[in-house]
Amino acid sequence: MNDEAYMRLALHEAQRGRGLTYRNPLVGAVLVKDDQVLGAGHHVHFGQSHAEVDAFNQVQHPEDVKNSTLYVTLEPCCHTGKTPPCAHQIVDWGVKEVVVAQMDPNPLVKGQGISYLEAHGVTVKMGVLSTEAEQLNETYNFYYRHKRPLVTVKTAQSLDGKIALPYAARTYLTDAEANVMIDDDRAEQQAILVGSQTVLDDDPQLLVRQPLEYAPVRVILDRRGRLVPPLRLLKCDVPIWLFTTNCHVAERFSAYPQVRIFVAKRWPVAAVVQQLGQLGIQSLMVEGGAHIQNAFLAADLVDQLLIYQVFEVFGRLSLPAFTGPEDRRQKFSPRNIMQVGNALRILAGRQ
């Protein structure tokens, strides 16, 4: 078999970590000698074995690894994180050649893993199926390249772009089937953000129905400090990060250890996104309301739009998906379009 075939196997292995690696990438590795697979592995879980080590652990006779070729979807690490550096172990095992799909954009690695291997006599071949490997960890790559989370603005809207009927307490647009998909979309995020008006109007919980080891952090933008307990948000322990300019807010929430308050003189959305990035958040879904969504557009911070379009027309007095003082025309390209329940689910990416 050729390099691409073994790398495809490594990419396939990587998928086995889906949903378990949290802020770490999905990584797969295959050890090969004399056209025989000695072992295949994946990054098992956040804080646990990296793919290279998992592959090594699958090998029946570890002495066979000497002079073998390692196919790995991400550059081997060279730092001590929660596990020891893979590059050092690869050299110790006597691997002859390492074929890498993608460089690790994490500044702790970023080429240093490759340099270490080469400096210790290991041949390194780069770029085999790099596009496929990049796609596997889109958010991880985006986060380290742009130093901020990938922002997705999600709306459920009518054909005329409205999100709520006038004077209604709460407008339900999507049906049960679409809501399951919306829940899956949420589950893939590390944080979800809404404004205080949405909390006041809907009293949402912002939870994911399926049990998750790392539920998305609930980010609330309450710049004026209008929210006061009790709130349904406070009924569970999933972290809430509340951004406000009102220094009295902290006292109000002192009985709720899951609430972390961020106080500053101003919180433009760009500063919130920056702060979330500093806290390690790689993906953020903005779920309303209309003013906040518009503020993200105006700040040029919408990387993806996720629209659930239902086949209804609401009319002129209903609330549009984006409202605010600033207008901005921005082009998006379709990434994925499908019908789910009563809605057309449109994922569009920034052009």
Give catalytic residues, as residue numbers.
Answer: 52
- Distance between CA atoms of 43 and 50, rounded to whole angstroms? 4
Closest distance to ligand AOF from the beta carbon of 123 (Å): 18
Closest distance to ligand AOF from the beta carbon of 87 (Å): 7
CB-count exposure of residue 170 (10 Å: 0-12, 13-18, 19+): exposed
Report the DSSP beta bridge partners of residue 340.
343
Cβ-count burial 201-235 (b if 16+ within 10 Å, e if not): bbebebbbeeeeeebbbbbbbbbebebeeebebbe
Residue with smaller CB distance to ligand AOF, 143 or 308: 143
155, two tokens: 């709306």
Q: Concatenate the DSSP letters of all residues of 131-182 into one string.
A: HHHHHHTHHHHHHHHHSSPEEEEEEEE-TTSEEE-TT-S----S-HHHHHHH
Residue with smaller CB distance to ligand AOF, 86 or 208: 86
Closest distance to Zn ion from the beta carbon of 99 (Å): 16
Q: Does the annotation flag 40 for ligand binding?
A: no
Residue nearest to ligand AOF (CB): 81
Q: By C-alpha distance, which of 261, 267, 233 is closest to 247?
A: 261
Residue with smaller CB distance to ligand AOF, 141 or 304: 141
Q: By C-alpha distance, which of 195, 200, 201 is closest to 170?
A: 201
Q: Does the annotation flag 293 for ligand binding?
A: yes
- Give the one entry of Zn ion, ligand AOF, none that residue 51 binds, where binding means its C-beta sits below a cut-off of 5 to 8 angstroms depending on kind: ligand AOF
Report the DSSP beta bridge partners of residue 164.
319
- Give the one entry of ligand AOF, Zn ion, none that residue 25 binds, where binding means its C-beta sits below a cut-off of 5 to 8 angstroms depending on kind: ligand AOF
Residue with smaller CB distance to Zn ion, 50 or 218: 50
Q: Contact residues for ligand AOF (CB under 6 A)?
A: 24-25, 27, 43, 50-52, 74, 76-77, 81-83, 86, 104, 106, 108-109
Residue 86 Cα distances to 52, 62, 91, 249, 251, angstroms: 7, 16, 9, 46, 46
- Give the one entry of ligand AOF, Zn ion, none that residue 303 binds, where binding means its C-beta sits below a cut-off of 5 to 8 angstroms depending on kind: none
Q: Does the annotation flag 73 for ligand binding?
A: no
Closest distance to ligand AOF from the beta carbon of 23 (Å): 7
Residue with smaller CB distance to ligand AOF, 54 or 287: 54
Q: Does the annotation flag 289 for ligand binding?
A: yes
Closest distance to ligand AOF from the beta carbon of 4 (Å): 20
Annotated binding site: 50, 77, 86, 156, 186, 198, 202, 206, 209, 287, 289-295
